[in-house]
Homo-oligomer: A and B are copies of this chain.
Amino acid sequence: MAADAPTEVPLSEVPLSEFDRDTAVTRRGPAEPGVYDADLSAGWTIISAVNGGYLLAVLGRALGDALPHSDPFSISAHYLTPSVPGPAVIRTDTVRTGRTLSTGQASLFQYAEDGTEVERIRVLASYGDLDALPDDVRTTAAPPALPPVDQCFGAGDASEGAPPVPGSSAITERLALKIDPATLGWALGRPSGKGEMRAWFELADGRDPDPLSVLLAVDALPPTAFELGLIGWVPTVELTVHVRCRPAPGPLRVSITTRNLAGGFLEEDAEVWDTKDRLVAQSRQLARVRLSQSRPVR
A residues apposed to B, CB below 8 Å: 73-74, 76, 78, 80-81, 95-96, 101, 103, 105, 119, 122-126, 130, 133-141, 194-195, 228, 237-238, 240, 242, 244-245, 259-265, 267, 278-279, 282, 284, 286
CB < 8 Å neighbour of A103 from B80, B95, B194, B278: B80
A265 to B279, CA, bound (A): 13
> What is the distance, in angstroms, from A231's C-beta to the closest C-beta of chain B?
14
> What is the distance, in angstroms, from A59's C-beta to the closest C-beta of chain B?
13
Contact A122 B139 (CB under 8 A): no
Copy tally for this chain in the complex stands at 2
Contact A141 B264 (CB under 8 A): no
A128 to B103, CA, bound (A): 27
Contact A103 B74 (CB under 8 A): no
Contact B259 A244 (CB under 8 A): no
Kindly list chain B residues whose C-beta atoms are within 8 Å of the C-beta of A237: 73-74, 101, 126
Contact B264 A124 (CB under 8 A): no
Specify which of A96, A133, A260, A261 lies most central, judged by the most chain B CB atoms within 10 Å of its CB.
Answer: A260
CB < 8 Å neighbour of A141 from B134, B136, B260: B260
A282 to B259, CA, bound (A): 11
A80 to B96, CA, bound (A): 7
Q: DSSP class of A's interface residues: helix, strand, loop or mixed?
A: strand
Contact A242 B286 (CB under 8 A): yes
Q: Given A124-B124, A260-B282, A267-B242: A95 and B74 within 8 A (CB)?
A: no
Kindly list chain B residues whose C-beta atoms are within 8 Å of the C-beta of A245: 262-263
A265 to B74, CA, bound (A): 11
A260 to B139, CA, bound (A): 4
Contact A284 B240 (CB under 8 A): yes
> What is the distance, in angstroms, from A253's C-beta to the closest C-beta of chain B?
15
> What is the distance, in angstroms, from A293's C-beta to the closest C-beta of chain B?
18
| CB closest residue in chain B, given A279 | B260
Pick 20 A–B contacts, CB within 8 A, sort by A: A73-B265, A74-B286, A76-B124, A78-B95, A78-B125, A95-B122, A96-B119, A103-B122, A122-B124, A130-B263, A133-B263, A134-B263, A134-B264, A136-B263, A140-B259, A240-B240, A242-B286, A245-B262, A262-B279, A284-B284
CB < 8 Å neighbour of A262 from B136, B261, B286: B136
Contact A105 B122 (CB under 8 A): yes
Contact A126 B240 (CB under 8 A): no
A218 to B180, CA, bound (A): 34
A30 to B80, CA, bound (A): 27
